[in-house]
Amino acid sequence: MVEEVLADTAATSSYSGSSAFSHDVIAAMKKVERHHFVPSELTAVAYHNRPLPIGYGQTISQPFIVALMTDLMRVKAGDRVLEIGTGSGYQAAILAEIAGSVYSIEIIEPLGKQAGERLKSLGYRNVQTRVGDGYYGWPEAAPFDAIIVTAAASHVPPPLLQQLKPGGRMVIPLGTQFMTQYLMLVEKQQDGSVTSRQILPVRFVPLTGGH
């Protein structure tokens, strides 16, 4: 699976702004076993490069998108990361392999509890999970070096932007379950202002030829 994802990176590099996924991301993708995070009946397809249902109308993202999002966050060792939308816990586990600490909030109670237990049983001591409303972030642990918002939201909650460190990065996938249309990367400048970048995960140029 990781090899497939890596092979796909080159094709996307010009769009994601990086020539290849960082070594940390690749190492994390190799280390975290995806079959722990999918329902038992889907174990056989756990390493397919596709999104899979995890119940409650939620999905575990396509590994390629997980790698791309993690890479865009530019997480470093020791970083403090916030995730809104724990889901299966797979993204949190990948982040935990790289970052110092990961704080993850899930809005769907049973899913959040399962993911918390799963991460604990897999030995991720640097991940803290919570079930609740992600709108106000995790103020006790703020500020964060990076934030990822995988839960659908009509807008970016202002409190989350406030909890992002100057120089920090926020990644938001947009679309619906099974269908990540594009990624938004929000960068907070040192002066507190923000810019956003919309990234199409796929190398697909809509404008063909000159006009």
What tokens does 94 get? 């990948």
- Angle at which helices 23-31 and 90-98 cross, to 10°: 130
CA quadruple 16, 21, 25, 29: dihedral positive or negative?
positive
Q: At closest approach, how far in Å is the CB of 33 from other proteins? A: 19
| DSSP helix/strand/coil, 67 | helix
Give one word for 17, left, alpha or beta, with left for phi > 0 and alpha for psi -120 to 50.
left
User: Judged by CB, which is closer to other proteins: 100, or 187?
Assistant: 187
| Neighbouring C-beta atoms of residue 42, cutoff 10 Å | 16
Complex with other proteins: residue 7 or 76, whichever CB lies closer: 7
Which residues would be at the binding site for other proteins (CB under 8 A)?
4, 8, 11-12, 14-15, 49-51, 53, 56-57, 62, 64-65, 68, 107-109, 131-133, 135, 152-158, 161, 174-182, 184, 186, 194-209, 211
Indicate which residues carry an active-site annotation: 61
Q: Is the CB of 124 or the CB of 144 nearer to other proteins?
A: 144
Q: How far is the CB of 6 from other proteins (least distance, A)?
A: 11
Q: How far is the CB of 193 from other proteins (least distance, A)?
A: 8
